[in-house]
Amino acid sequence: MGQRTQAAGGCLAMALGWGAGLAVWSVDVRSRFWRFEQAPDWRVLYAELPLALLGGTVAGLALWAVLSRLRGSR
């Protein structure tokens, strides 16, 4: 596998991981942001969202690294 293919695979894995992190974060976000009879909880945006995106990116790149290692060992 060429270097360009590996680089494209890594970028694709990162983008898919980012999307997966965003999808997981968006589940029931409205109820987490607007608590019952309280002000908005801004931690949902400035703490949870970046962590979800970072976690998804790390998971995607870790999966890509494992699959790349397994494919290279054959």
Q: What is the pLDDT of residue 3?
A: 86
- Asked if 64 and 13 touch (Cβ cutoff 8 Å), the reply is yes
Half-sphere exposure in the Cβ direction for 1 (13 Å, CA): 15
Task: Determine how many CB atoms are found less than 10 A away from the CB of residue 50.
Answer: 12
pLDDT band at 32 (very low <50, low <70, confident <90, very high): confident
Q: What is the pLDDT of residue 42?
A: 84
Is pTM beyond 0.85? Reply is no
What average pLDDT score do residues 9-31 get? 90
- pLDDT above 70: residue 74: no
**67, 72, 74 from 23: Cα distances, Å:** 23, 31, 34
